[in-house]
């Protein structure tokens, strides 16, 4: 069997996770049992992540609803939360909970009754692991398992495979070679495939979801044949289009700088996830705006988005892209949440394959001596 060690590793890690998933329980409850404080709790267990998003949607409130708990008196907040619960207080919904090795119970999903839900949950993970490992066993390509990540909160698996037989010399210099691979991510509800690229000189990786495939597997079994075909096609075959597209995209970045707007877009990626100031060091080290203030002599926060999109950072776009992928690919040097790492790889790929950078096709600033016409006087 080809790729034997990779297959063994995937099966071993998947079996541990699936065994742990056996501790899941579906708990029926009524909305009025919820406790709404500075968070939402069910029988003493805080609801977070996708489960929190689902319950807020059921309650008919905005995602930032809980932020108002800090802006109101405790009595007013209690009154508001009770009224919101009371509107649908008798509705019966379900919480999916899981108990970890230490006995701690987490609420990982909130959903309305679906008779087929449990059957879909139990079937999907086993089936997709089988399709991936069978394709690896039949492939003539030699793969390396770059990553196997289990997101317990979202109950999703991410399997990242690097094809060791590929090599794309993006600039024709033998100094900047990339390899291609496959990234599969799936849960009980969604299946995602996207090409994966790794720059060998520094092991920087990115996931190109723009060229992938997504299916909502909870809507019916008719999707499974297409999913199996997608897995087999991409593991067994090597794309002939993606190497050319990668070369074109890297050359495009090499020839251009990024704008302040593009720079701040990625700074805001960390700012929006900076709970408890965990990304302060990353933002200070990699997204220092002091050179822009010195060069332009203005307060950037007061400038419009249009102005920022025409303001040159002096940073080459390919250098900036490599910085982003380095951050996302080096957990030993840069401490980041694993889910945020994957999302940053995807975001960096969006820059790589961006059709037009902000500073492209912009007229140079010249003096035009236009003659005054009589009608101008």
For residue range 30-44, list pLDDT tens digits in order. 888 889 988 899 888
Q: Are 310 and 359 in contact (CB under 8 A)?
A: yes
CA distance 132 to 228: 8
Clarify whether residues 133 and 231 are in a common domain.
Answer: yes
Q: Would you state the pLDDT for residue 122?
A: 41
Rounded CA-CA distance 340/344 in Å is 6
Instruction: Give me the pLDDT at residue 276, please.
Output: 85
The answer to whether residues 104 and 122 belong to one domain is: no
- In this predicted structure, the answer to whether residue 282 has a pLDDT above a threshold of 50 is yes
Percentage of residues in the chain with pLDDT exceeding 70? 92
Q: What is the pLDDT of residue 116?
A: 44
Mark whether 221 and 299 lie in a shared domain.
no
Residues 281 and 348 in one domain: yes
Residues 207 and 307 occupy one common structural domain: no
Q: Where are the alpha helices (DSSP H) in 146-300?
A: 224-236, 242-254, 260-271, 280-286, 290-296
- In terms of residue numbers, what domain contains 186? 118-166+178-239
What's the chain's length in residues?
A: 377
Given a cut of 50, is residue 115 above it in pLDDT?
Answer: no
Position 247 pLDDT exceeds 60: yes
Give 43-101 pLDDT, tens digit per residue. Answer: 888 888 888 888 898 888 888 888 888 888 888 988 988 988 888 878 888 887 776 65
For residues 142 and 233, state if they share a domain. yes
Q: Is residue 182 part of a domain?
A: yes
137 and 224 together in one domain: yes
Q: Which residues contact 273 (CB under 8 A, 6 or more apart)?
A: 279, 337, 340
Residue 329 near residue 321, CB atoms below 8 Å: no
Enter the pTM of the model.
0.76
Q: What is the DSSP letter of 158?
A: E
**Per-residue confidence (pLDDT) for residue 120, from 0 to 100:** 40
Distance CA 280, CA 305 (A): 24
- The answer on 315 and 221 residing in a single domain is no
Is the pLDDT at 317 greater than 90? The verdict is yes
CB of 135 closer than 8 Å to CB of 235 = yes
Q: Residue 183 in contact with residue 207, Cβ under 8 Å?
A: yes
Same domain, 221 and 128: yes
Residue 55 lies in a domain: yes
Whether the Cβ atoms of residue 270 and residue 282 lie closer than 8 Å to each other? yes
- Is 359 inside a domain boundary? no
Q: Determine the pLDDT at residue 121.
A: 43
* Mean pLDDT across 222-244: 89
Tally the domains of the chain. Answer: 3
Task: Report d(CA 227, CA 209) in Å as an integer.
Answer: 15
User: For residue 341, what pLDDT is reported?
Assistant: 94
Q: How many helices (H) and strands (E) does the chain have?
A: 12, 15
Express as a percent the part of the chain with pLDDT over 90.
56
Asked if residue 222 has pLDDT above 70, the reply is no
For the chain, the average pLDDT equals 88
- Compute the average pLDDT of residues 213-239: 82
Indicate whether 138 and 228 sit together in one domain: yes
Q: What is the band of 365 on the pLDDT scale with cuts at 50, 70, 90? A: confident
Q: Is 244 a domain residue?
A: no
The predicted model gives 235-251 an average pLDDT of 94
Q: Does 171 fall in a domain?
A: no
Q: Is residue 364 part of a domain?
A: no
219 and 183 both lie in a single domain: yes
Check whether residue 263 and residue 155 sit in a common domain. no
Q: What is the mean pLDDT of residues 2-18?
A: 93
The answer to whether position 2 is within a domain reads no
Cβ neighbours of residue 142 closer than 8 Å, sequence gap 6 or more: 2, 3, 163, 164, 165
Give domain status of residue 215, yes or no: yes
Q: What is the pLDDT of residues 342-361, one digit of tens each?
A: 999 999 999 999 999 999 98
Which pLDDT band holds residue 366 (cuts at 50, 70, 90)?
confident
Strands 92-99 and 204-207: unpaired
Whether 168 contacts 247, CB under 8 Å: yes
Question: What pLDDT, in 10s, does the model give residues 154-205?
Answer: 778 999 999 999 999 999 998 999 999 999 999 877 899 999 999 999 999 9
């Amino acid at each position: 069997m080809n790729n034997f060690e990779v297959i063994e590793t995937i099966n071993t890690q998947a079996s541990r996770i699936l065994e742990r998933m056996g501790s899941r329980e579906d708990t029926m409850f009524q909305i009025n049992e919820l406790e709404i404080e500075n968070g939402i709790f069910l029988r003493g267990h805080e609801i977070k992540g996708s489960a929190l998003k689902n319950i807020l949607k059921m309650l008919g409130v905005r995602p930032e609803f809980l932020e108002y708990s800090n802006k109101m008196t405790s009595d007013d907040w209690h009154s508001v939360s009770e009224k919101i619960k009371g509107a649908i207080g008798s509705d019966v919904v379900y919480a999916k909970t899981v108990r970890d090795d230490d006995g701690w119970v987490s609420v990982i999903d909130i959903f309305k009754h679906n008779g087929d839900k449990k059957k879909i949950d139990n079937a999907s993970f086993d089936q997709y692991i089988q399709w991936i490992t069978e394709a690896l066993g039949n492939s003539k390509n030699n793969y390396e398992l770059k990553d196997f990540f289990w997101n317990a909160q979202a109950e999703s698996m991410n399997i990242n495979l690097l094809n060791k037989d590929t090599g794309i010399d993006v600039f024709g210099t033998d100094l900047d070679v990339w390899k291609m691979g496959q990234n599969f991510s799936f849960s009980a509800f969604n299946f995602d495939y996207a090409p994966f690229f790794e720059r060998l000189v520094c092991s920087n990786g990115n996931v190109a979801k723009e060229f992938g495939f997504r299916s909502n597997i909870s809507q019916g079994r008719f999707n499974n044949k297409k999913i199996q075909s997608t897995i087999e096609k991409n593991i067994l075959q090597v794309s002939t289009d993606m190497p050319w597209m990668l070369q074109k995209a890297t050359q495009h970045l090499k020839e251009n700088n990024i704008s302040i707007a593009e720079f701040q877009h990625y700074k805001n990626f960390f700012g929006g996830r900076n709970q408890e100031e965990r990304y302060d060091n990353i933002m200070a080290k990699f997204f220092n705006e002091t050179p822009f203030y010195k060069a332009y002599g203005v307060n950037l926060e007061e400038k419009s988005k249009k102005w920022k999109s025409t303001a040159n950072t002096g940073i080459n776009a390919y250098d900036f892209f490599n910085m982003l992928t380095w951050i996302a690919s080096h957990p030993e040097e840069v401490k980041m949440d694993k889910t945020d790492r994957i999302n940053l790889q995807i975001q960096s790929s969006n820059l790589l394959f961006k059709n037009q950078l902000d500073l492209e096709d912009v007229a140079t600033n010249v003096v035009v001596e236009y003659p005054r016409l009589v009608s101008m006087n």
